[in-house]
Structure 1
Amino acid sequence: MTAGPIDPPTPLTPSAEQVTPASHQGTKHARRAAVASFIGSTLEYYDFFIYGSASALIFNKIFFPGIDPALGTILSMATIGIGYVVRPLAASVIGHYGDRIGRRQMLVLTLVVMGVATFLIGCLPPTAAIGAAAPILLVVLRALQGASAAGESVGAVTMTIEHAPSNKRAFYSSWVNTGAAAGIMLASLAFLAVSMLPQEDLLSWGWRLPFLASILVVGVGLYIRMRLPESEVFEAAKEAETETELPIKVVLRDHWTTIIKVIFFGLWSVVSSVFAAFGLAYATSKFGIPAPAMLGVTILTAGLAVIAQPAAGILADRIGRKPVFITGNLICAAAAFAFFWSISTTSVPLIFATGILFMTVGYGMVNPLGPAMTAEMFPTKVRYSGAATASQLGLVVTGFAPAIAAAVVQPGPIGWIPVAAFTAACCLASAAVTAIWVKETYNVATEDLGTKATANT
């Protein structure tokens, strides 16, 4: 008796027969879209995250002087959250026009607004010079930063996945938040440089330099993004559309359950703001750890993330988004305790080791996938509106996470436990929602995302 032919193994990614050729191959601009998203996101998030570093090290002294240092830190951390409060409304507006007139135009707009707002923050006089107008103007400019960021990452992810081959969407789109990691690294490098200035020079003019340098963002970003065309998937959906309803109306009417899903799914993002903003302030103010050492942790973990995040995207294209994303959340939940414990020991090598586990390994598995998974939940015609609005509603908690952490932290060497518990709870909630409620999309063609085909996977 002879054995019959052995069936080939089931492919981990869609074959050419499973999806249409156009969807499988992507467009000829797929790599350019990924590169443009990476560079644009790097520049955009450099602007956004130098604010977090300044809030941890500078703003409580410049804009909230003369009050209790602990309260000043809370107020400084709270201004980070202001940038997130305006994001849902801004996302709805930017997403509407992104779905109506095109993704590229909105990405150009967000880049210009972010660059100008950040430059103006660097020009602000201190409270000692103009009184209460200083923190008020700071909040207004932070709100403009938030409005810009509301449409940035989702818009870049949307354009990238629509250009990418169906079986490589996670890898290509991972470069958007890899750009964000690179932006964090550059922001930390900038503040590491100025933090070495004498304290008087740092507080008077040194802190302004990273903000003023953001004007370079506008020219470079405009050149890159103006050269990238709209995706064929978007153009085809736009031509085929016969309805004239507002995209946001369609989202709120037909996809409201997805919005709720994304709000809880998106709790993973508290990790970044707790680590980069609160962790920096907590370590330097409570335990006397030098700011250059803590900035060095951020620089190293962000630099390693530039390698780790695309690798997570490749893995997610092979075995699915959910296993990678859930595992990353579980690692972050455990690493939150390890990281803050290491801060309490004041051991810099230990802080570096746990920081790598927290941000490079754990967060490096969720950060590159979160925006893409959100965008993949919506159909093409309302993808920008839906993903932007839903994700930004979820990010309100993220924006105030440093202020929440500053409020719940307790005195003493183990006062960090409530902060770690809060961070871990958010990660576990994100993992649970993903496991129970999020559909797997790695084997769904791009043109079928957000449709009944997705629901059946």
Structure 2
Amino acid sequence: MTQQDQINGEPNSAAGPTPSPMNKVAFASFIGTAIEFYDFYIYGTAAALIFPHVFFPNMGSTMATISSLGTFAVAFLSRPIGAAVFGHFGDRLGRKKTLVATLLIMGLSTVCVGLVPSAATIGIAAPIILLTLRLLQGFAVGGEWAGSALLSAEYAPAGKRGTYGMFTQLGAGAGLAVSNLVVFIVSVTVGEKSAVFLDWGWRLPFLFSAVLLIVALYVRLSIDETPVFAREQIAGGVPNAPFTELFRTQSRQVALAAGCMVGIFTMSFLGGTYLMSYASTRVGHPRSLILGVGVLAGVALMAFSAISAVLCDRYGRRRIILIGFALALPWAFVVMPLIDSHSAVGFAVAIAGIFCIFGLSYGPIGSFLPEIFATRYRYTGAGMAFNLAGIVGGAIPPLVAGALVASLGSWAVGLMIAFFVVVSIVCTALLPETKGAALEKDAAVAG
């Protein structure tokens, strides 16, 4: 058996290029996704705590917050478009080239956000430019996660795909922790309530993305195309229209995989945006506490994503994901009472708990979603499922949560979380177990 066979744990039907070492691939998956999530979360943090004052100063507090979170949510609309576009090129031209493109678009868009003049300077043009850059961020992220997950899955041995898929999943927690930490350092350094912070201090975390972009770009350019895709090219299996073929042959799997992710997105972006804003505007917690809890949440997400990713290689993907969702149901009704207690410890426990449970279900996803789809359209399939779930679970809950609280009370937010988690439980249960599936045998992954 050749080195290439050993890396994939599957028979090699055609010669291909010598693959990059697995540790290098794992780091490339981690660093690129960490940068992408840093860029995405840094915007979410700013949208919750800063942008209402900078880009919507003439609105009341509630409307300014809703408008700011609206610019955050709009990126989820462009994510499926990015998934379709980058999925097409990822399935036709290769994983590596596409991942370089998503990284560049995301990183440059984030740096440009840090350069947008305030509404006080250029008026309504400021939020319009902000909205445009946010759409570009969503477009890039739409192609990022799937490509990174495929990078790990298509290199890793069959028995270790969950473990190596962990590195893509760790990027989300790292991005959350680092984004909150950088904003915290800046706010402490220049003063979170100072005019300097609202004028230019908040821009530093966005500009810092340029440094991270250079590092991630260097790493991704240094790796080779995945052996699985390289063999697919040699065998002539690259499709002309992966999007069309995907929905002709595996539309059910796309819908169920998206449903599996809905509850995960709900926990992630309610916890990372709306509940942070709620703690600031409704409860009155200081920004420094909220940012510190954000760092804690990112670390918790990384830890539990790693644990569940390793466990799924032994006990199966679905079982571990469903355990996380089962824990999320009762926790959904604990979160708001803890935050409404006005206790700093209660707030920290509520948010950290969400991200621990989120991590349990999220860790195996890095291997589960790629294993569901055939190689010919795996990039498109994993990306579409992931990002369609983002619209339902990531964009809608933070936008409607404020209205629910105003009309029904904060308990309704817990009910909403529970509803989306139930959707994910049902969809996950209907999907096949993929542990040990042979990636290059389409019938094995078509479910």
* Range of TM-score over shorter length: over 0.9
Q: How does 1:362-441 map to 2 (within 5 A)?
A: 362-397=357-392, 398-410=394-406, 415-435=409-429, 437-441=430-434
SS in 2 for 1:346: coil
- Partner Cα distance (1:374, 1:25) in 2: 19
Q: Do residues 177 (structure 1) and 162 (structure 2) align?
A: no
Instruction: Quote how far apart the aligned CAs of 1:402 are.
Output: 1.2
What residue in structure 1 maps to residue 57 of structure 2?
A: 65
RMSD: 1.9
Instruction: Quote how far apart the aligned CAs of 1:199 are.
Output: 2.7
Q: How does 1:1-400 map to 2 (within 5 A)?
A: 23-24=8-9, 29-196=21-188, 197=191, 198-241=193-236, 244-268=239-263, 269-360=265-356, 362-397=357-392, 398-400=394-396
SS in 2 for 1:163: coil
Q: Normalization by structure 1: what TM-score? A: 0.90
Q: Normalization by structure 2: what TM-score? A: 0.92
Instruction: Quote how far apart the aligned CAs of 1:243 are.
Output: 6.7
Please list the CA deviations of residues 252-304 of structure 1 after superposition, one character each: whole Å capped at 9, or x if unmatched. 21121122212222202111110010011001100111121122122112113
Query: Does the 8 Å CA contact 1:263/1:394 hold for their aligned counterparts?
Result: yes
C-alpha spacing 1:233/1:285, structure 2 compared with 1 (3 Å): same
- Partner Cα distance (1:383, 1:453) in 2: 13
- Residue 407 of structure 1 aligns to which amino acid in structure 2? A
Q: How many residues align?
A: 432
Query: Does the 8 Å CA contact 2:111/2:206 hold for their aligned counterparts?
Result: yes
- Partner Cα distance (1:132, 1:354) in 2: 37
- Partner Cα distance (2:121, 2:98) in 1: 37
Please list the CA deviations of residues 334-360 of structure 1 after superposition, one character each: whole Å capped at 9, or x if unmatched. 223222211100111222223332212
Query: Does the 8 Å CA contact 1:25/1:164 hold for their aligned counterparts?
Result: no
Query: Does the 8 Å CA contact 2:92/2:238 hold for their aligned counterparts?
Result: no
Q: Which runs of 4 or more aligned residues in structure 1 lie more than 3 Å from their structure 2 counterparts after TM superposition?
A: 20-23, 25-28
Query: Does the 8 Å CA contact 1:78/1:400 hold for their aligned counterparts?
Result: no
C-alpha spacing 1:151/1:158, structure 2 compared with 1 (3 Å): same
- Partner Cα distance (2:231, 2:107) in 1: 32
- Partner Cα distance (1:210, 1:89) in 2: 27
Query: Does the 8 Å CA contact 2:84/2:380 hold for their aligned counterparts?
Result: yes
- Residue 443 of structure 1 aligns to which amino acid in structure 2? G
- Residue 183 of structure 2 aligns to which amino acid in structure 1? F
Structure 2: where are the runs of 5+ without partners? 12-18
- Residue 324 of structure 1 aligns to which amino acid in structure 2? I
C-alpha spacing 1:98/1:293, structure 2 compared with 1 (3 Å): same
- Residue 80 of structure 2 aligns to which amino acid in structure 1? P
Query: Does the 8 Å CA contact 1:77/1:400 hold for their aligned counterparts?
Result: no
C-alpha spacing 1:255/1:25, structure 2 compared with 1 (3 Å): closer
SS in 2 for 1:447: coil
Work out the percentage of aligned pairs sharing the same amino acid. 32
C-alpha spacing 1:152/1:204, structure 2 compared with 1 (3 Å): same
- Residue 222 of structure 1 aligns to which amino acid in structure 2? L
C-alpha spacing 1:244/1:365, structure 2 compared with 1 (3 Å): closer
C-alpha spacing 1:455/1:156, structure 2 compared with 1 (3 Å): closer
- Partner Cα distance (1:386, 1:274) in 2: 25
- Partner Cα distance (1:25, 1:352) in 2: 45
Q: Could you say which structure has the larger radius of gyration?
A: 1
Instruction: Quote how far apart the aligned CAs of 1:28 are.
Output: 5.7
1:453 counterpart (422, 444, 447): 444
C-alpha spacing 1:243/1:310, structure 2 compared with 1 (3 Å): closer
Instruction: Quote how far apart the aligned CAs of 1:202 are.
Output: 1.5
- Residue 438 of structure 2 aligns to which amino acid in structure 1? A
- Residue 343 of structure 1 aligns to which amino acid in structure 2? I
